[in-house]
Amino acid sequence: MRLSPFWLVLLVLPPLVALAALPPFGQRMVILAGIYGLMGLGYQLVFGQLGALNLAQGALFGLGAYAAALTAPVLGPFALPAAILAAAIPAALVAGPLLRLQSHYFALATLALASLVNLLAVHAEGFTGGANGLAGFATSLPRGPVLLATVWICLIAGVLLYAWLFEGTTGKKAQLLREAPLLAATLGIDGAAWRFAAFVVGGALAGLAGACSAALSGVVSPEATGFSIMVLCLTLVVLGGSRHPMGAVVGAALAVGLPELLRDLQGAWLLAYAVATLAVVLWAPEGLAGLIDRLRGARRAPPIPPGLPTSVPPLPGAQRLTIDGVSKRFGGVQALDGVSLLVDRGEIVGLIGPNGSGKTTLLNVINGLEQVDEGTISLDDRRIEHLPAHAVSRAGIGRSFQALALAGDTKSADLARAVATGAAFLLLDEPAAGVSDHERRALPAFLANLRDAGRGVLIVDHDIELLSRTCDRLVCLDRGRVIASGSPAEVRADRQVRASFLGLDGIAA
């Protein structure tokens, strides 16, 4: 387990102390903290790890609570799994269309959905008891030690699993998805599948939390589906730390503890809680758990940026990348017009052309960031032009970018990532632009390494001398068309190329 002993002790202590020493009222508070912790932990998956503002978590909590209240008399303890399903199944049903939306529409859609659930809770009186809610139902688990143990065992298991999952590569992939979704796609990460899993698992945890809260209070009212629960969930996660494994637990402990500390101030604890959240957003975006880590000196060492990779082992996979008659239009601009070219394994092809001639667009359609209008792209006999970016990456095409998408990133790291996908073919967009002289000098050897390892490379750059020295062939684009192709010497001698790109028109060849 990767959770530090400090946090592990803090995580396990509350339920043990509560069971051993606290009166029923204290136990009740510890149970409530555990319930909020479960809801928050689920929320961390969607909001913390993927950065999507989901405003339906409160409604899913409410669905779990109602499901538990309605099924507990029949199912007994099995009302808990029923409640998990009652939240997870609707989450899975709406996930498809919802998760395609951009940030602000996603927030709106989840808010509208939550409002619908709330309306249903208030007005479907025969089913939900209307505004008064349900009370006096047989609870799924007896209140007290059994419920406390159940809630905290689930929470501890969840936190440990979360810490273990997001510590390593999975955490890095989540960060990529959050901060640079396009880059993530070109590295073969299926963002849609990730978001779906996070949304459904997060919803399931909310359902479980809702069911436990129904068991704890013995009452379920429309408030369980309301906006205030949602705001509580959001603020506790932000306050505790939206990605820290202990963030939800710390936030939940405060949400339960603050009202007791500020009991003299009546309703003011919510106010204090909101003020604290705002302060955390402004001054400690990593949350209180992260802040505590910082004060403990447990800060992680900053990663050392890698140099260009020197070992690029030969790989199995497709032998030839074929681009045939590819066209792409943006509004009135014909960015690509019937482009055809081949790249073989162990070959470096340079793509040159004036600004706006379609070089980057060509790379974008090859690796699936843009869809072609016409033409085909294949790896051997397999057509790939209709595949999404992450599938193209998995089929064996890596990509480096002109502009860096991540804070603190370097061109070398970008190239290293593309190579590390193990792709048979690499599309490199201006690897020599904006790098140090040292890195630029290392580039030809790196490219030669790729060739020797049998990788195929399609490289775009403005440094014509560099390309002439390192490439086997050059292809020149102008206004979306291939105007010349052949050995570097042939292409550089070409009349049209000299006129349109090299700016040597009128100078004797």
Partner 1 sequence: MAYALVALGFVLALNAAGAVNFAHGDLVVLGGAVAVFIGLSTGLPAVLLLPLVALAIGVVGILAARIAILPLASRPPEATFVATIALAAIIEQSLTIAMAGAPRTAPSLVGSGSFYIAGFVLGRQPLAIVVLGAVLVAAVWFLLERTQTGRRMRAVAADRYMARAVGIPVGRYVILSLALSGALAGVAGFLLGHQFLVAPTQGAGHMLKAYIAVALGGWGSVPGALVGALGIGLFETFVAARFGDAWASAALYICVLAVLALRPQGLFGEPVGRRA
Where on the chain is the footprint of partner 1 (CB under 8 A)? 47, 51-53, 97-98, 100-105, 107-109, 111-113, 115-116, 119-120, 122-123, 227, 231, 234-235, 238, 266-268, 270-271, 273-275, 277-278, 281-282, 285
* CA 384 to each of CA 192, 321, 368, 371, 377: distance values in angstroms, whole numbers, following the listed order: 19, 10, 8, 10, 6
Q: Which is nearer to partner 1, 52 or 72 (CB)?
A: 52
Q: Which is nearer to partner 1, 110 or 139 (CB)?
A: 110
CB of 482 to partner 1, least distance (A): 28
Q: Which is nearer to partner 1, 237 or 432 (CB)?
A: 237
- State the Cα–Cα distance between residues 210 and 31, nearest whole angstrom: 12
Task: Report strand pairing: 219-220 vs 134-135.
Answer: antiparallel
CB of 230 to partner 1, least distance (A): 9
Q: What is the 3-state secondary structure (H, E, C) of 426-449?
A: EEEECCCCCCCHHHHHHHHHHHHH
CB of 275 to partner 1, least distance (A): 6
Q: Which is nearer to partner 1, 164 or 196 (CB)?
A: 196
The DSSP letter of residue 498 is I
- What 3-state DSSP class applies to 178? helix
CB of 38 to partner 1, least distance (A): 21
Q: Which is nearer to partner 1, 102 or 310 (CB)?
A: 102
Q: Which is nearer to partner 1, 111 or 433 (CB)?
A: 111
CB of 372 to partner 1, least distance (A): 18
CB of 478 to partner 1, least distance (A): 27
CB of 313 to partner 1, least distance (A): 38
Q: Which is nearer to partner 1, 74 or 119 (CB)?
A: 119
Whether 450 contacts 309, CB under 8 Å: no
CB of 112 to partner 1, least distance (A): 4
Q: Which is nearer to partner 1, 280 or 339 (CB)?
A: 280
Q: Which is nearer to partner 1, 30 or 254 (CB)?
A: 254
- What 3-state DSSP class applies to 247? helix
Which residues make Cβ contacts (< 8 Å) with residue 381, sequence separation at least 6?
none
Phi, psi of 382 (to 5 degrees): -90, 120
* CA 504 to each of CA 385, 491, 499, 501: distance values in angstroms, whole numbers, following the listed order: 36, 13, 6, 8
CB of 274 to partner 1, least distance (A): 4
**Which segments of 363-468 are extended strands (E)?**
374-379, 382-383, 397-400, 425-429, 456-460
- State the Cα–Cα distance between residues 420 and 501, nearest whole angstrom: 33
- Of the candidates 349, 364, 386, the one whose C-alpha atom is nearest the C-alpha of residue 484 is 349
Q: What is the DSSP string of 32-90?
A: HHHHHHHHHHHHIIIIIIT------HHHHHHHHHHHHHHHHHHHGGGHHHHHHHHHHHH
CB of 156 to partner 1, least distance (A): 27
- State the Cα–Cα distance between residues 471 and 448, nearest whole angstrom: 9
Q: Which is nearer to partner 1, 89 or 120 (CB)?
A: 120
- What 3-state DSSP class applies to 311? coil
- State the Cα–Cα distance between residues 84 and 207, nearest whole angstrom: 5
